[in-house]
Structure 1
Amino acid sequence: MAAEGAEGLEGAGADPTLWAEVRALLPRAEEGLTLSLSGEVEGCVLPLLQRARALLYGLSGRPEAAAAAALGRLSDVLRDYSWEKLNAAPWREVGKGWRQVYAYGCLFGALAEVAAGRPLARAVRLCDLGLLLGAAVQDHALARLVRALQPRLPRGSAPRHRPRAQRVRREPPPPPPAVQPEQAIPHLHCPSLEHFRDNYLIPQRPVVLEGVMDHWPCMKNWSVDYFCQVAGCRTVPVELGARYTDEEWSQQLMTVSDFISQYILEENSVGYLAQHQLFDQIPELKEDISIPDYCCLGEGEEDDITINAWFGPGGTISPLHQDPQQNFLAQVLGRKYIRLYSPQDSENLYPHESQILHNTSQVDVEDPDLVKFPNFTKAAFQSCILTPGQILFIPVKYWHYVQSLELSFSVSFWWS
């Protein structure tokens, strides 16, 4: 994973202006970079971290190529060693200390890239890996570093289609079921906080809110080309497959530009960018959205709200499942067909018995096996086609099935 190697670190040397800006993000004195770990790690690790720190603080003025190369090699060792620990047990059981070691390895590696004067794309990738797989270190140094580096990268644009003869098209998504009037989720234009609380939040009734996100910058800014310009170089996790219950479903790390090229424009298979950290990772995108005012009716603080990104082509599906928090699903691009079932119908929806998928129904909503799941027909549902500018309130524990009808970008806000 980490061992892309430090080869080629003998570049032209660091840009003095950039190096000074990057070094200013860290404590001035070596002892200020504390290397404190939240959890036990093997005794051999701390001396490696201390050695990397000493190399870093020896890179004063215009860094020497040999010292930068040595720091790069040591960062590879730290990442490789901690990577084995991250994958030796289920993620929930991985100690925070090892995730911090991985983050330090990414931090030292990114700084070595800058010190060597190499192109900044790999330094940004290392920052992203540390943000995604590590734990916060040194006052969120990785996030601050990548914000300093990204403006110096060339702003990309959406890759062009290859000639049509070379492209392999996905199967078009099936047409959505018709939304019958008696099953339609009600729509409401900018209700007051009191009206929403009394008529929808307290009684836990779904509703489509209109006019609430009209002023969000994303409604004017967001497009495939915009994502490439703002975030094309950033590494993100991508889900491969039409739905997460499929046997061939998998996850992969890739840049936003590669994701768009391979799974949005080329249409060769289905990939979906589903990210719980995207807006923390890329603040430029977070500035384009707003937390709905109605979240203030919850019990938690604003920092407790989880903001998720969902970006993918038509044909991607979220199987019938439920979430443990209230959900505002805001549609920015494209349309989605959504079907909701009350938690009171849970027994009729046949949740998986396994702990991993206990929040997911065994029933294929598009083609239910009524011999195996006969009570599914007893479950009443509501549905809608969510269009850009609309926000769907999904009450806590409500079962929901989601089908993207075309290229789609949604933002969900989970709150208590």
Structure 2
Amino acid sequence: MFAHKRGISTENWRRVYTDACILRSLADILNMEHNELLHQSMSDVCIARLDRAIIIAGPCGCGRLDLILELIRGIQLHTSWTKKLNTSRSSLSSGDSLSKAIALPRTFAKPIPRLDLGVSPSLSAFASTYFMEPFILPGYVLDWPAMQEHPWRSIEYLEKIAGPGRIVPVEVGSDYRTDDWTQTLMSWESFLASLSVLYGGSEKEQVPKPVLYLAQHNLFTQFPALRNDIIVPDYVYAAPDAPENYPEYHPPANDEQLVTNVWLGPAGAVSPAHTDPFFNFYAQVVGKKTVWLSSPETSSYMYPYSNGNRNTDESPADPLSSHSNPAANNVEPLMSNTSRVDVFAPDDTKYPLFSRHVMPGAMCATLEPGDLLYFPPGWWHAMRSEETSFSVSMWF
């Protein structure tokens, strides 16, 4: 209230928080120089605080990100680190699927089209024609450094690229629609270890641990070297027109008109059916992931949450009452872009219009490492990791 009366903007508060994290860390660094006993523990605290400035505040302010990253590197270089965790395996993807068959849901009528790499669309063909419907380019990103010389499937590489002491934001729980879902900040090393150790206790008494999912996070801001491991497709710069079934489309507001995020989680991690307001190229780097899609025309039958509330009203939106798409609500972090239907195991009794109006036109496919998926704004999409999965989304 005070901030509002004084006219203090959110951007100014973000800048204050950023500068406070920097100044406090600089003070702690000076204290560490005079007290070697505090060096290790204080280094952890400083790096975590500086990471919070990146994660929570942006960070805000000219040159602040470069300064924060330089401080983190300096602390890491001048601290004697003791390895805290020994991961049970060196690869994210080994031993997940045991070559078992992947069971696709019964909620789709046709596969997502796969285009032959030899005849992948030209830039002009994509901008004029192909941008209107989803498709998969099999193996399109197999030449990314992330797939080759800098393998993201290697836990050792992922730890090395970040350096010790880093923290990341993770979701706790398998479904953000449930009441027990939450978010937390945890060490990068601990999170990577969690992808290997999904159960605790003895063989006789195995206790399932919560699903931890690093979802929709711009990890490239925290670990800039990872950005060099991907090659952004030229398609994202094609500037296609707003689709007819989603006229509200506007590109991202940043200078590059591009938003990149990563998605890293264990087998079984699920993103419920929801919509986004941007065009999306989605690259599968590690593991397999099943994708379900449905067009914006089916929005009235997807039983979206109303006004951001997790209500129990099971009636869908009246298709005649509004022509707005839930994905258009990209200002407030509400739930109106999310469906109450579990598209991987729907309740036909509870959501009868979904099976009647959505399933006949829905599409589905399992992405293999190296595949590149495209779908337009406003399309309903759900994701399920079949193995430990590392993906990159590129909104434009």
TM-score, normalized by length of structure 2?
0.72
Task: Report Cα offsets for 1:106-126 as digits up to 9, x if no partner.
Answer: 101221222223343322211
The answer as to 2:134 corresponding to 1:206 is: yes
Match of 1:329 among 253, 267, 282: 282
Q: Is 2:282–2:373's contact at 8 Å kept on the other side of the alignment? A: yes
Residue 200 to residue 121, structure 1, CA distance change in 2 (3 Å): same
Pairing of 1:360-379 with structure 2 (within 5 A)? 360-377=338-355, 378-379=357-358
Match of 2:171 among 222, 231, 239: 239
Q: Is 1:318–1:402's contact at 8 Å kept on the other side of the alignment? A: yes
In structure 2, the residue matched to 1:36 is none
The answer as to 2:234 corresponding to 1:293 is: yes
SS at structure 1 position matched to 2:141: coil
In structure 2, the residue matched to 1:215 is 143
Q: CA deviation at 1:295?
A: 0.6
SS at structure 2 position matched to 1:291: coil
In structure 1, stretches of 5+ residues that fail to align are: 1-38, 44-92, 163-168
Task: Report Cα offsets for 1:279-335 as digits up to 9, x if no partner.
Answer: 112101111112211011126576221101100000010111110111111000000
Q: Name the CA distance, whole Å, in 1 between partners of 2:82 and 2:129.
A: 46
Q: Is 1:206–1:394's contact at 8 Å kept on the other side of the alignment? A: yes
Pairing of 1:320-359 with structure 2 (within 5 A)? 320-355=273-308, 356-359=334-337
Q: CA deviation at 1:409?
A: 0.3
TM-score, normalized by length of structure 1?
0.69
In structure 1, the residue matched to 2:17 is 102
In structure 2, the residue matched to 1:125 is 48
> Of Structure 1 and Structure 2, which has the larger fraction of its residues in helix?
1
Match of 2:157 among 217, 226, 240: 226
Point out which structure has higher relative CO (alpha carbons under 8 A, 6+ apart). 2
SS at structure 2 position matched to 1:106: helix
Please provide the CA RMSD for this pair.
3.0
Q: CA deviation at 1:179?
A: 8.6
Pairing of 1:9-48 with structure 2 (within 5 A)? none
The answer as to 2:388 corresponding to 1:407 is: yes
In structure 1, the residue matched to 2:265 is 312
Q: Is 1:113–1:122's contact at 8 Å kept on the other side of the alignment? A: no
Alignment-mate amino acid for residue 346 of structure 2: P
Q: How many residues align?
A: 317
Q: Name the CA distance, whole Å, in 1 between partners of 2:129 and 2:189.
A: 43
Residue 178 to residue 245, structure 1, CA distance change in 2 (3 Å): closer
Task: Report Cα offsets for 1:141-162 as digits up to 9, x if no partner.
Answer: 3443323532616596972339
Which region of structure 1 is more displaced relative to structure 2, 106-115 or 310-319? Answer: 106-115
Q: Quote the sequence identity (%).
A: 33
Q: Name the CA distance, whole Å, in 2 between partners of 1:370 and 1:211.
A: 36
Q: CA deviation at 1:391?
A: 0.8
SS at structure 1 position matched to 2:229: coil
In structure 2, the residue matched to 1:193 is 123
Q: CA deviation at 1:368?
A: 1.7
SS at structure 1 position matched to 2:393: strand
Match of 2:221 among 280, 283, 287: 280
Larger radius of gyration: 1
